[in-house]
Structure 1
């Protein structure tokens, strides 16, 4: 009997089983998955179109396809497969092939880029959370008394730049309370997404993709819809005039842009590092785009503004 153990080392290279095979034929399938994800959900279809699309298109779904075909080959080559190191993708596909899982199986989703980034995650211990909440509460009260015209989210490196904007406020400091401002009809949205995926003709079993969507999209959906509502509440209560997002592929940052779109105020997207990220679903979505050069992709419908980062100009 031929046996194989997928440990940490093999987890990162079990796709070697497909060495030499061309996967470009599946790219149109992957693109189509992203394009139909939000179809038919109702009045918020255009608003939610940018959400989770880059995570699925660039990271999660290609990984699912590669893992399915790799582990399918391994399933043919070995009589017994035990998984000691895994990820959400390896879990989904491994269970489909009825592989064995070690009781102390380790997970490497963060290392493999398979987590949905959460900028609102609690910072560790109860003491740190308590201190953070006091700090955020005081900052919020001071900002509101002073007046807030600009609401922003900083993905990193731009602290000095944002600090120069008068009457600005860091959206990260907003309390994640329940907001009933918008009736999202979450169950209807989830059911429509499930139906969209079930209707696809795929080269992999649909049930694998549905499980991935359930765990990474639908399980996080209510949180981000509420985040949009929280931003909408703050924008309307404080007469915010502009929102600035320094990331375009993170659902927290997209929530801020969506809130601006819902409240019909201006939005600006800017880079925070040298490598520029682009989300094509933001075409005709944002008002302004800060650009570093003439070569990076431009959003249609957005007015381009030359942008310079303070940290990048510092001498080393």
Structure 2
């Protein structure tokens, strides 16, 4: 073995969003705008729900948690990209890389679980409206969210510990904007079959089970909506469900494209584009798709920010889901 391959890597170099110098400045501005929009929009949702007692219901409780997770999700990756661009640095330590990977995947798992929990909440509300308050109790809501956090952390802890056991020699350049599992495994000079097997088995179950729950919930919702006599009522329900399903397809589609395809089909450009969608774009869209055209949330925002210009800003947002 060559001597060069015996030196262990103590830091990695993140190449960022583009290797073309002329594209870096526009991408920096784009990511800065998207990140600020994500933080502002989701924090407004959390503030509105927290300050209005009428929104202290299971649906808004889960939405508040989703907004918190989305802020954390984007904050795990995007600020590092922005800081590296400003400082002209690409370095991230080995421990910092594993830490970033750990939290990025924890919040990705939480998005996964919360989407399933929200689908179940809508299933109970539409299919069992008379029993909604008795089924969706505060204790059950707290248990669902707490269980999601515990499961997400235990799952990602397993993958992080397996990654920490690998050796990285010579090559330390990651063609990505954050420490993702796929490019890290390609850089390792150890046997990565166990890591890849755990991603395809245990990791697949973590993603697949909530997806099946979402699918089962929406099958039941569709059957219930089709029994509604009013065409307008059916259309309103289907439109609302369609918005949620669009986010579900966007999230699961990009995750599957990156992590559950054969390694031979991966390319750096496609993986990075998919990662941008589920780490930056989807969290940014959450306030628009779920909330900012909701009358209850608008009323809560008006109460929290009575200034007229705040209300005008909300009114100027395009309609993405039907009004309730």
Question: Is the pair's TM-score, using the shorter chain for normalization, greater than 0.5?
Answer: no
Question: Could you state the TM-score of these two structures normalised by the residue count of structure 1?
Answer: 0.28
Question: Could you state the TM-score of these two structures normalised by the residue count of structure 2?
Answer: 0.28
Task: Looking at secondary structure, tell me which structure has more strand per residue.
Answer: 1
Higher relative contact order (CA 8 A, sep 6+): 2
Task: Looking at secondary structure, tell me which structure has more helix per residue.
Answer: 2
